[in-house]
Amino acid sequence: EIVLTQSPGTLSLSPGERATLSCRASQSVTSGYLAWYQQKPGQAPRLLIFGASRRATGIPDRFSGSESGTDFTLTISRLEPEDFAVYYCQQYGTSPYTFGQGTKLESK
């Protein structure tokens, strides 16, 4: 199965700063089928980005995704207070679909 390794495990930033989250795949992700989800405590994950770089409906444009080979990046250009949460990447191109272990974005 494809292993997704997210880094860092925890990221401490302040509102207004830029956040860069990484997700590295153990092998090629079919057709760039890589998604990013945001999860807040007690809530289900929320789809942010799919196809490595396409924003889901209703997602602010401060969220962007990019791909370089087996490395994927989620960037939040200017952090808002509501952005502090856990972020997961997921590949959905090869079964079994797999998730990264998550990056916790916390307020400094």
Partner 1 sequence: QVQLQESGPGLVEPSATLSLTCTVSGGSISRGNSYWSWIRQRPGQGLEYIGYIYYSGNTYSNPSLGSRVTFSLDTSKSQFSLRLNSVTAADTAVYYCARDPGYGEPLDYWGQGTLVTVSS
- Applying CB under 8 A, the span of 19-27, 45-53, 59-67, 72-80 interacting with partner 1 comes to 45-53
Cβ atoms of 81 and 107 closer than 8 Å: yes
47 near partner 1, rule: CB under 8 A: yes
- Applying CB under 8 A, the span of 8-16, 44-52, 60-68, 77-85 interacting with partner 1 comes to 44-52
CB neighbour list of residue 51: distance below 8 Å, 6 or more residues apart: 32, 33, 34, 35
93 near partner 1, rule: CB under 8 A: yes
Beta partners for residue 71, in sequence order: 24, 68
Q: What are phi and psi of 8, to 5 degrees?
A: -75, 175
Residues that bind partner 1 (CB under 8 A): 1, 31, 33, 35, 37, 43-47, 50, 56, 88, 90, 92-93, 95-102
